[in-house]
Structure formats: C-alpha cells, structure tokens
Amino acid sequence: MVTDRPVGRRPGDPETTRQAILAAARTQFGERGFDRATIRAIAADADVDPALVIYHFRTKRELFVAAHELPVDPGAILAAIAAMPPATYGEQITSMYLGRFAAPGSPTFSLLRAAATNEDAAAMVRGFIHTTLLEHGTPLITGPDPQLRLELVASHLIGIVVAREILGLPELRERPLQDIVAVVAPVIQRYLQGD
Amino acid sequence: MVTDRPVGRRPGDPETTRQAILAAARTQFGERGFDRATIRAIAADADVDPALVIYHFRTKRELFVAAHELPVDPGAILAAIAAMPPATYGEQITSMYLGRFAAPGSPTFSLLRAAATNEDAAAMVRGFIHTTLLEHGTPLITGPDPQLRLELVASHLIGIVVAREILGLPELRERPLQDIVAVVAPVIQRYLQGD
DNA sequence: GTCTATACCGAGATAGAC
DNA sequence: GTCTATCTCGGTATAGAC
C-alpha cells in the first residue's frame, strides 16, 4: 500500500529519481540550451529537490553529458542504408538524419542547440557526425574529395534543422518533413555521387 | 598635448567610448554568445567601466541589438548579383554569403551563434535572410516552389558555417573558403534553377 | 559625461540533519 | 537517499560622488 506523502517527495527509488531527472534535463537543455537551463528548473520539472540533482550527477556539466549519451549503433545504421540500392542513399540519409535531428525533443537536437555556445556539446555533435557519417560513410560515396562531400552532406542537413527549428524560416517550418526531403534528397544524392 | 591619466580612463569623448564598447561587444558576443558574454568582460575589453556600458546602452539586450545593427543595403547586393549572367548566380551567392557569415568576427556570425538560445537574435537573423534573400531573391530563381528553394539555399550556407566554425568538422575547417565554394556553388546553382 | 561603490538577485554547489 | 539551510560567486543594474 502506498503511504501518503508530501508532494515532491519520491523516497526510496534512486533509479526512478535518476530517470526523472534525466528526462527533465533533456527537456530543459533542449528548450533552453546549456546556459539558460538551470538545475533548479530541471529539479522542479522532475519534481525533485535541486540538491538531489547534484547528489546524483555531481555537476551541471556531468548531468548534461549523462542526459545526452546516445544509444546509437553507428555501424548498424549505415549498414542498413548500404544494403539498399545506391540510388536511394540520398533519400535515406536525408530522411533519417532530418528525422533524428529535427525532432525538437530529441537528445541530438538538444546537443545541436547547446553546441552553439558550449564546446563540450560541440565535441559531442562532432563525435556523433564522425562516427555515424564520416567514419563509416565512405562506402556510400564515390568520386573525389569524399570526406569534404560527406561533411557538406552533414552541413546541409544541419543547416535545414537550424533554419527550420531555430531560425524559423517560414516555408521550412510549415512544410511537412516529406516535402523537404523530396526536394533535398536529390541534392544529397548528387554530393554522394561526386557531381 | 595629452595629459597623463590612469589606465582605463577615457574621459571626454562619449562617441569614442560608445564605439569601443560596441567593438568589444561584437567580439564577446561573437565568441561566447549572448548568455556567456558578460558586461564586465565587454567593459574590460573596451577598457571602460562596466557601469558605463549600462549608461550608454541601458540593458545588455539593447547593447546586443545596437552591436548588431547591420548597415546593409539588401537591394544593392542582389542588384549587383542580378546584373551578372544567371549561370553565375550560384557562385556569387555562395561566396558572398559564406564570406559574410563565416567571418568569425562579423556581426552576422555573432548573430548566428546567439540565435541558438536567443529569440531576439533568431528574429534578427531571420530578418536578415528575409530582406537579403527571400524578399528580393525571386528574380534569381526559376522553377516551382521558389521560396522553399531559396530557404534551402540559405539553409545550406548556414549549415556550412555552423559545421565549419561552430562544430569544427575537420575538412571544412582546414580547406580555404574557395575550395568549398567550388564544390558548393553548383549545388546552389541547381537549387536556383529548380532542378 | 564619467566613474566608484554597492545593491540585489539567482546561479551552482556544499554541509549536515533526517 | 533525501531535504533544509546556507555559502560563494558573478551577473545586471542603480545611486550618487566627482
């Protein structure tokens, strides 16, 4: 039987507390970026005492890192893409990365926003792009300067997310993602094929 | 003759002081973004008392706006581009906007970084893109969905700046801007021509 | 018009009671 | 494991002397 207890208390289950804090942290960091997200607000969101946040994660920085550890298997993603016909690489990469980065609640998007003013976050995004695209992406690409063109692929997709979710350019914001993918995919495909 | 005076004093010329503060503000905002740039640091950079910064600009927010007022004649820029052969639009736009946005000391770059966590700054970038590209750019573009494709042009160029200057992707960072322009310009051209 | 001194607030973090 | 109380720091902004 559940004993009644004051609102805001969550005694007994550290793992539940940890998870609640992590979820709240992702929301706050995602919406406000690293600097403007406060431990106090995260704690309030998680219905937990601010001191508990520090107790579990030691510092704001470590909380940020913990909240953004990505359960991604980079090999698996690109292996799935490589299994399809090369003519579809552009469309697959476009819809996959836009879908992942452009979801405003996702850790990846949160990281991207934070990266603007936070070298830790920038390094994490760089790592993510490196392991998921640059390192294992060469099989997808033909022609000269493959690394440069892979980075341009990443650039374009990131730019679309920034323009849509952060700058709020009107057409990009209003259109469903599929419309955008339809126009962009051939361009990405072109980068992959080396002109 | 110049009388000797304590370091840090700059008596007598308010306009000099204003300009020194504005220059320092651009540097600090550009390097650290809105939140991490502090009035104390800006004042120190400008060799001026922190209170003077407030005296001249009232609030940090107003200082930010003043530091980023862009002396741009949007009509003139695009008129110059439109005067050249249409086949060169892509290259001109690419080198112009990359040059402007990618210069880490420029107000435009500073705005872009700040936009990640600051709706004021985001609105200013949106306004800049709107007046310089979306509003007057239609003569440069043919084919369906011109607005969407103009926004995609902006997206790609912004993404390159983000990837190069903020995320620090290796190839983009090391290559001179001309190399990048050479690869990107045909893609931009393609957006302008509607496939 | 300029600077000194300081008020005031909210942040991250700590100590120690429970 | 959790909460209360508190410390310390550095931020923006103000009052008032010069």
String of DSSP letters for A62-129: HHHHHHT-----HHHHHHHHHTS-GGGHHHHHHHHHHHHHH-TTSHHHHHHHHHTT-HHHHHHHHHHH
Whether residue A36 lies within 8 A of chain B, CB to CB, comes out as yes
Distance A43 CA to D5 C1' (A): 17
CB contact under 8 Å between A167 and B32, yes or no, is no
Q: Hey, is B194 helix, strand or coil?
A: coil
Per-residue pLDDT tens for B33-46?
A: 899 999 999 999 99
For B119-148, what is each residue's pLDDT tens digit? 889 999 999 999 888 888 889 999 999 999
- Cα(A129)–Cα(A74) distance, integer angstroms: 10
**In angstroms, what separates the C-alpha of A56 from chain B's closest C-alpha?**
26
Q: Which of A152, A180, A189, A195 to mutate to test the interface with B (most CBs of B within 10 A)?
A: A152
- Print pLDDT tens along chain A (195 aa): 444 444 445 566 778 899 999 999 999 999 999 999 999 999 999 999 999 999 999 999 999 999 998 777 777 888 889 999 999 999 999 999 998 877 877 889 999 999 999 998 999 999 999 988 888 889 999 999 999 999 999 999 999 999 999 999 999 999 999 999 999 999 999 999 987
Q: How confident is the model at residue B90 (pLDDT cuts 50, 70, 90)?
A: very high
> What pLDDT is recorded for position B5?
39
For residues B7-32, average pLDDT: 79
Task: State the nucleotide closest to B54 in CA–C1' terms.
Answer: D13
pLDDT for the residue numbered A8: 46
Q: Two tokens at A102?
A: 């452009």
**Which strand D nucleotides have any atom less than 7 A from protein CB atoms?**
1-5, 10-16
A14 touches strand D (CB under 7 A): yes
B71 CA vs C5 C1’ separation (Å): 38
Distance B59 CA to D18 C1' (A): 24
